Amino acid sequence: MGTPDFSVPALQRLAAQKDFHISLVVTQPDRPKGRGKKLAPSPVKTAALDLGLDIYQPENLHTKEAKNKLASCQPDFFVVAAFGQILTQEVLDIPKILPINIHASLLPKYRGSSPIQASILNLDKETGITTMVMDKGMDTGDMLLTSSTPISEQDTAQDVHDRLGFIGADLIVETIHQLLDNRLSPTPQDHSKASYVKMLKKSDGRIDWNLSSRQILAHINAMTPWPGAFTHLNGKHLKIFKAKTDNSILGHDSGVIFQCDKEGIHAATGEGCLVILELMGASGKRLKAGDFLCGNKIDPPVKFDL
């Protein structure tokens, strides 16, 4: 059970195992996409079609029809990765052995829907994947295996997302093999150390120039590709994709652009300064700062709208 790109490597890796049989791929219904709002399949559906697997796309997995469909497969395991629907205990009880979730954090840290962004925002040195036994709580089930990956200062949420997708693919195969060989026992989470993260919304992308340059860089990276880090200059919306920190000691207020050169757009922050390297304005094109300045003249000092 999965829907977005994150879930695809796990599906492909499971399908490649000669000792596994995927009886059914469950994914969200086709949704309108793009300017034409034409119905488009989920990445998981596209991958499942390429693999020649049976696909089921229920709007609601809790109907009698849906539960009968799942039960008719007589599955040993459910493997769930960013499916997009909450599973009731009645559904979780269907597999003969276990329902397993591939979660994109080192649990019990960052339960919820935006763990990758949270790990970058909080300047964590590493994140990872946890395979866990699903229960009716929000990522509260017993842990099976974990695997970690470092987070660099330049990693965006997309970068970490892509790495974790492949790590999760390896880990779910290892998890199932160890369970089948009786080499793995579920371990309860330490609920006292749990933290929760909410689903992101577009407004979460707004940059707070009073933060330090390192925190703002982390914010930009965490919001890329969605919802996108943004700010306003003279009432115009600017989306920032790439930047770097410069911890020079400056005498400018937070949010003041004090220099524009071939390196980029230099802005003061609450601590140090940020050099904006790639951004998008009204043209709708992602541009290097130098190219942006050719068509959008900025005369320092000028302050971002706070």
- Per-residue pLDDT tens over the stretch 13-61: 999 999 999 999 999 999 998 888 899 999 999 999 999 999 999 999 9
Report the pLDDT value the prediction gives residue 208, as an integer from 0 to 100: 98
- Per-residue pLDDT tens over the stretch 94-112: 999 999 999 999 999 999 9
Q: How many CB atoms lie within 10 A of CB 44?
A: 28
- 181 within 8 A of 247, measured Cβ to Cβ: no
Percentage of the chain exceeding pLDDT 90: 94
Q: Give domain 5-197's CATH number out of 3.40.50.300, 3.40.50.170, 3.40.50.920, 2.40.40.20.
A: 3.40.50.170
Residue 108, preceding peptide bond in cis (omega within 30° of 0): yes
- 167 within 8 A of 146, measured Cβ to Cβ: no
**Helix ranges restricted to H, the chain:** 8-15, 43-51, 64-72, 89-92, 115-121, 157-180, 213-222, 289-295
Question: Which residues contact residue 181 at a Cβ distance below 8 angstroms, ignoring those fewer than 6 apart?
Answer: none
What 3-state class would DSSP assign to 63? coil
Q: How confident is the model at residue 306 (pLDDT cuts 50, 70, 90)?
A: confident
Q: What ranges do the domains of the chain cover?
A: 5-197, 202-303
Residue type, 254: S
Q: Return the CATH number of the domain spanning residue range 202-303.
A: 3.10.25.10
Q: What's the gap between Cα 242 and its chain centre?
A: 18
- Per-residue pLDDT tens over the stretch 247-276: 877 789 999 999 999 899 999 999 999 999
Question: Can 5-197 and 202-303 be said to share one CATH topology?
Answer: no
- Per-residue pLDDT tens over the stretch 114-145: 999 999 999 999 999 999 999 988 999 999 99
CA dihedral 245, 246, 252, 258 (to 10 degrees): -90
**Helix ranges restricted to H, 99-237:** 115-121, 157-180, 213-222
Q: How many CB atoms lie within 10 A of CB 225?
A: 10
Whole-number mean pLDDT of the chain?
Answer: 96
